Structure 1
Amino acid sequence: MTANVSQTPPASPTPSPLHAVVADDFDAVNRTIVAQLNSKVPLVETIGQYIIESGGKRLRPLLVLLAARSLGYQGDKHITLATLIEFMHTSTLLHDDVVDESHMRRGKKTANDAWGNAPSVLVGDFLYSRSFQMMVDVGSMRIMAILSGATCVIAEGEVLQLTNIGNPSISEADYFETIQGKTAMLFEAASHSGAVLADATPEQERALQYYGRYLGLAFQLIDDLLDYQGDAEAMGKNVGDDLAEGKPTLPLIHAMERGTPEQAKLIRQVIRKGGLEQLDDVLEIINATGALEYTRARAVEMADKALAELDALPPSPYRDSMANIARLAVDRKA
């Protein structure tokens, strides 16, 4: 199977006001994705296009565009920067699905399920490598430092999550350290690098860096909440997938802290064992202890922090879109 990516642009997210303010830039990002997926090895193009077309809002490249434009950037390197951020994200998805032995993402087969683990890992490596080539094209040592540092933190976060699987003893602080690395870091790198590209003041640069961090944390918190409350069809994965893998996310951590000794013991046993045999019992404990309400409250806290950081930016439609993204982070159902 060979995909003619030079003729077929990757699917764009459903148009929304969030994308509308940078619609032309976003079209340019899609064209750059096509160009940069080009490879003399057909399978690289096939798998790369498959995963990029698999859906999602493409929020990370959107953050690059909005951050740069919010500070008046008028060049074109934000297009390259947004594209390489999407490639970095896509490569992590390919690697994550192999590590998690996932079979479904956003309602479609994962690449590893369709082509196998080895091709998925290697195409992920290709996308990471291509993203670093594009960093050179951006031509900023500061941006290279931000993004290369981010890749290390992301990898550490993934390893930390892996070592935490089946471990019911991790604390809430441990959990936040993990999601800061595996999820929030790329959000942070996206908005931070967009600010640097636009020659932000130190105050604005810091604000956009932390805006991305808090936004990423809010998104992951809601992801972890939806694993116990979401709509399987809307999410493209099954409710309880994290529990099946033995991942101790915040709903479980809080339920163990607030539940009775017997309830905490049951959850600890399920985390160690994995599987869904006792999903109904776990859901009952989660609901009884207010764990989902607590998780949502922490997500709202992070989104509010993200919104507060935007006060450092001048008023503009781009800033408004970033504010709306922060609100979307906690209001979404998938």
Structure 2
Amino acid sequence: MGVVLNLEGGKRDAASVESLVGLTKDDMARVNELILTKAGSDVDLIPELARHLISSGGKRLRPMITLAAAQMFGYAGEGHVKLATSVEFMHTATLLHDDVVDESDLRRGKRTARMIWGNQASVLVGDFLLGQAFRLMVEVGSLEALDILSAAASVIAEGEVMQLGVAKNLETTEDEYLAVIKAKTAALFSAAAEVGPVIAEAARADRAALRSFGANLGLAFQLVDDALDYGGSSSDLGKNIGDDFREGKVTLPVILSYRRGSEEERAFWKGAIENNENDEAALKKAIGLMNKHGAIGDTIGRARHFGEIARDALAPLKSTPQKSALFDVIDFCISRVV
């Protein structure tokens, strides 16, 4: 039932984040120590739930991007570690909240926190992590970095509400959907990339370049996730294949398939998305319709487009190992689809 998507002859083996991992290894060790420290609490449930999330895997791209972006401009202080930890706490909090809203059972092959401890605990621990993120931002002492990350937190929340507004709405346009993922996903990537040059006191043009890189990388990342839901694997996606379909999410592959479909096909989509007629047979048919209309391939095409914008944003910057590593991140995000 999976879809094989050819990216210039297949998956690019060279596309990885190993360069980024190597450059940020020492700083990420400090980030991980700080995560464990700041996730501590006398309330036993908080560190227990936090440890569950920390051990659940994930490459932690966002904090690594923060660290690399600060290194790129010669930053030598401690603030980038605290900001990277803030970024990871913000991301983790949104995952906790997302799983509650989406009623998700699995994340990266493990039971979600809400399935173990319940929805209330998940939401409240997410709030605790957001609070710790803001405390760390204040400790750094950069009002500009605080402004960037706090603004991102507000935009992410707006994106979640916007997503509720388009839920099960098959009349959602591509532009409306892009606005949702720009807020829900791209905003944090953008902020994570921008705060590095900010605390390194880089030039305005350099800050703008990293901001644009992060925003467009985030769009590409989410569009690939949308495609993976219908043609990937649970290990690539971090959740069950077909979860978006079963939850009635209107993502770009659905939008394109619905708009390009016949009257009979649109009736199928209405039943599947609006009326929860979404069993395994329906999922198989949905993937077949997406293949017929080129919806998954075109979604990947959009992702490639935003990836190229991210690449162009970095292009004028001076050559550094960090710049090269961020280029690799773009390739990695898109090549997750086989």
TM-score by length of 2: 0.92
Please tell me the root mean square deviation across aligned C-alpha atoms, in Å: 1.5
Which stretch shows the higher mean deviation, 254-263 or 45-54? 254-263
Aligned length: 321
User: Does 2:320 align with 1:299?
Assistant: no
2:95 counterpart letter in structure 1: L
Q: Name 1:276's counterpart in structure 2.
A: 278
Deviations 1:55-83 (A, max 9, x none): 11101101100111111111111000000
CA–CA distance in structure 2, aligned partners of residues 39 and 220 of structure 1: 33
Moved over 4 A (4+): none
Q: Name 2:327's counterpart in structure 1.
A: 323
8 A contact 2:104–2:112 mirrored in 1: yes
For the residue of structure 2 that corresponds to 1:41, the secondary structure is coil
CA–CA distance in structure 2, aligned partners of residues 51 and 291 of structure 1: 33
8 A contact 1:165–1:245 mirrored in 2: no
8 A contact 2:228–2:236 mirrored in 1: no
8 A contact 2:66–2:192 mirrored in 1: yes
Deviation at 1:124, TM superposition (A): 0.5
In structure 2, list runs of 5 or more residues that go unmatched: 1-15
Which of 13, 21, 24 lines up with 1:22 in the alignment?
Answer: 24
For the residue of structure 2 that corresponds to 1:56, the secondary structure is coil
8 A contact 2:17–2:325 mirrored in 1: no
CA–CA distance in structure 2, aligned partners of residues 233 and 67 of structure 1: 28
8 A contact 1:240–1:276 mirrored in 2: no
In structure 1, list runs of 5 or more residues that go unmatched: 1-13
1:225 counterpart letter in structure 2: A
CA–CA distance in structure 2, aligned partners of residues 332 and 240 of structure 1: 17
Deviation at 1:234, TM superposition (A): 4.5
CA–CA distance in structure 1, aligned partners of residues 238 and 218 of structure 2: 20
Which of 171, 178, 184 lines up with 1:176 in the alignment?
Answer: 178
User: Does 2:318 align with 1:311?
Assistant: no
8 A contact 1:71–1:314 mirrored in 2: no
Deviation at 1:15, TM superposition (A): 8.4
Q: Name 1:133's counterpart in structure 2.
A: 135
Aligned pairs (5 A) from 1:81-96: 81-96=83-98
Deviation at 1:110, TM superposition (A): 0.3
Which of 24, 39, 49 lines up with 1:47 in the alignment?
Answer: 49
Deviations 1:221-276 (A, max 9, x none): 00000000012354343221111111110001111222222222321332112352
Q: Name 1:5's counterpart in structure 2.
A: none
Deviations 1:94-126 (A, max 9, x none): 111111111100000000101111111111010
Q: Name 2:207's counterpart in structure 1.
A: 205
User: Does 2:125 align with 1:109?
Assistant: no
Deviations 1:135-194 (A, max 9, x none): 110101111111111111000101111221111110000100000111111000100111
For the residue of structure 1 that corresponds to 2:285, the secondary structure is helix
Which of 123, 148, 151 lines up with 2:150 in the alignment?
Answer: 148
8 A contact 2:159–2:183 mirrored in 1: yes
Q: Name 1:4's counterpart in structure 2.
A: none
CA–CA distance in structure 1, aligned partners of residues 239 and 315 of structure 2: 37
Q: Name 1:98's counterpart in structure 2.
A: 100
Q: Name 2:5's counterpart in structure 1.
A: none
1:222 counterpart letter in structure 2: V
Q: Name 1:260's counterpart in structure 2.
A: 262
CA–CA distance in structure 2, aligned partners of residues 280 and 15 of structure 1: 33
For the residue of structure 1 that corresponds to 2:224, the secondary structure is helix
For the residue of structure 2 that corresponds to 1:308, the secondary structure is helix
Q: Name 1:61's counterpart in structure 2.
A: 63
2:255 counterpart letter in structure 1: I
Deviations 1:5-57 (A, max 9, x none): xxxxxxxxx98332101211111111111111121111111111211221111
8 A contact 1:107–1:235 mirrored in 2: no
* CA gap 1:234/1:187 in 2 versus in 1, 3 angstroms: closer
Q: Name 1:215's counterpart in structure 2.
A: 217
CA–CA distance in structure 2, aligned partners of residues 237 and 276 of structure 1: 17
For the residue of structure 1 that corresponds to 2:315, the secondary structure is helix
Q: Name 2:13's counterpart in structure 1.
A: none
1:204 counterpart letter in structure 2: D
2:332 counterpart letter in structure 1: L
CA–CA distance in structure 1, aligned partners of residues 191 and 249 of structure 2: 25
8 A contact 2:245–2:278 mirrored in 1: yes
8 A contact 1:228–1:240 mirrored in 2: yes
- Taking only the aligned residue pairs, the percentage that are identical comes to 44
Deviations 1:191-237 (A, max 9, x none): 01112111121111111001000000000000000000012354343
Q: Name 2:80's counterpart in structure 1.
A: 78
1:167 counterpart letter in structure 2: N
